Structure 1
Amino acid sequence: MPDGKIIKALSGFYYVLNHDHEIIQCRGRGVFRKNKVNPLVGDQVVYQAENPTDGYILEVKERKNELIRPPIANVDQAILVFSAVEPDFSTVLLDRFLVLIESNHIEPVICISKIDLVPDAKKAEIDAYAKDYEKIGYKVILTSTIDRKGVQVLLPLLEDKISVFAGQSGVGKSSLLNVLRPELGLKTDNISSHLGRGKHTTRHVELIEVGTGLVADTPGFSSLEFTELEVEDLNYCFPEIEEYSKDCKFRGCTHTSEPKCVVKQEVETGEIKQYRYDHYVQFIEEIKDRKPRY
């Protein structure tokens, strides 16, 4: 039986891209509903089809990861698009996204957009933030869709991968995709008819081919709350905190009030940036204050 990847799910139909770059419209077999398996965009599936518009998905292969909102599976990396200005660069929002991505074992790439709009007085600040995150180990790309700065660096990163473009509204995700693949003609202000973005539209995730990779331009994470994360897990979502935590005196140190905490010492020396530590503590409090689920 042939196999392929689901690139769109809409109104009970699954659109499967096969190895011949044909799109086969499929339905799910009843066995999926019985076994409570919900095929997702990004799933590798086995199907049968007499023709391109009348196929059936027979099997959903094992996933390496799965996001609930947006609903997508087998994501290789997340391109986190954050504008330098308009709206202003936000480290706390970026760190929130990074925690959500890290907790799902997805490789993050930080893309700081609209670099051409940064006033001279603010350039040093943006460069300093970029260096901070690079020192932690993240890949950081500074981009401009006007002079195309950084776009040539981004394109090779998408090859042969499923990438999710994510970030708050207005940061230039669609503008970036238009530069990467101009024939898409995505609207950057109102509604994108291709991807279902915009107000009062049915928002769905769709993978589009960019070079040899597949990219999902999502309307964003509908929830940025840490609903699935526990306090002891947060440590692993801050790579620099995890690195130094191994030397803490107490096993299971939360790096908040414990004595002889190496992480807090490294914050004092500046090895761990104060704003990153502040966000870590803020997120711990959020998780502790979370209402219990029953």
Structure 2
Amino acid sequence: MDVVTFGETMVLFTSESPGLMRYAAHFSRKFGGAESNFAIGLARLGHKVGWISRVGDDEFGKAMVSFIAGEGVDVSRVKVDDTAPTGIYFKELRRANDVRVYYYRKHSAASKMKPEDLDEGYIARAKYLHITGITPALSESCYRTVIHGIELAKKHGVKVVFDPNLRKKLWAEETARETLLEISSRADIVLPGIDEAQFMFGQANPELLGERFLERGASLVVLKVGAKGAYYFTENGSQLVPGFPVEQVVDPVGAGDGFAAGFVSGLLDGLSLYEAVQRGNAVGAFATTVSGDVEGLPDRKELEAFLCCENGDVAR
């Protein structure tokens, strides 16, 4: 196994007509969740990845597990909960570059994840454990599951990749700040967006933000700065890796998960940090061009063709 991740995936309903959702009569049904988006992105690039979660004993849960398994992700550690439903959320496409999300996930099956749901041997066999800041916001037991996962990874020498993935709708801001800072200090690699980093540290300068994460214990920080690209920071220095222009952003949701998948894929393939961040930028750009959280994620041939056209040669 290359990577293990865990967290909640929900049924996603998107209005088929633009504008206010109150006027929408028809919705498409898809699936979305930061961790499974990331897992699917890695699987499409040819990596072995496992996703751990809980789903309801309902038709939505069955369809979700089948879909994620069909994308090449190992779902053997997913548990079915007959006491709680699979979570749902709605995506409202009001107009270009104005996408709003509404969650119906309280008391969902995934919010009942607990430390015992994690298979120590399964995590021990991975190279990376990927976690996000969404999971600890779901419940106290989910928070304890995240901490336990980090402890298991550290015990077995598995590197921890942490994407803060801030969701202010899920918890109080001070609790969110304290928890995200705590987890980032335990992670080996941190992948914040510029807005998340500003929220966590209360300052705006990218160089200073990178330094703050390193001071708290991370060995590698990649700070995403939107269309400009992303900076990487290590104790040996930092560099901005330019992003890829997107003529029309159809759906920005899932771009950060795509970035994480592309970047970790680059690490697994032994690319330089610059090239790994470049791959992350490319996959993140791909993700914005299609409606849906994972529908725009590329496979390896698509990615290499894109990088070839953009750079004159395939990035290796």
Task: Indicate whether the TM-score tops 0.5.
Answer: no
Bigger radius of gyration among the two: 1
Per the normalisation by structure 1, the TM-score is 0.29
**Bigger share in helix:** 2
